[in-house]
Amino acid sequence: QVRLVESGGGLVQPGGSLRLSCAASGFTFSLYGMNWYRQAPGKERVLVAGITSDGGSTNYVDSVKDRFTISRDNAKNTIYLQMNSLKPEDTAVYYCNARRYIDFWGKGTLVTVSS
């Protein structure tokens, strides 16, 4: 059974940091590209960051470049999203995605940036 379980969300003040984790099981993790998406209230789900199966290449949406860092540990079947200098507009549900020929999704973790 495929599972992607996100954790690490919560309430943080503007300028603060959070680290999201996504623990994967039920598939060959090291063969899949992994992504973080987010969906703000009333908006579509959008890609935030991605990392290749071997971790050798990453990509980011412009709005989070130089603030967010995606990484993976293939020995632990886990990906991470380090989020620094958080802004209110980063408030969203963050979803973990595994992609090769098909997509797997987690249920999401809520990040709220507010004073």
What confidence tens digit (pLDDT) does each residue in 58-113 have? 999 999 999 999 999 999 999 999 999 999 999 999 999 999 999 999 999 999 99
What confidence tens digit (pLDDT) does each residue in 46-62 have? 999 999 999 999 999 99
Which tokens in the block code for residue 74? 């293939």
Beta strand ranges found along 1-115 (DSSP E)? 3-7, 10-12, 18-25, 33-39, 45-51, 58-60, 68-73, 78-83, 92-99, 103-105, 109-113
CB atoms within 10 A of CB 23: 16
Three-state secondary structure call for residue 21 = strand
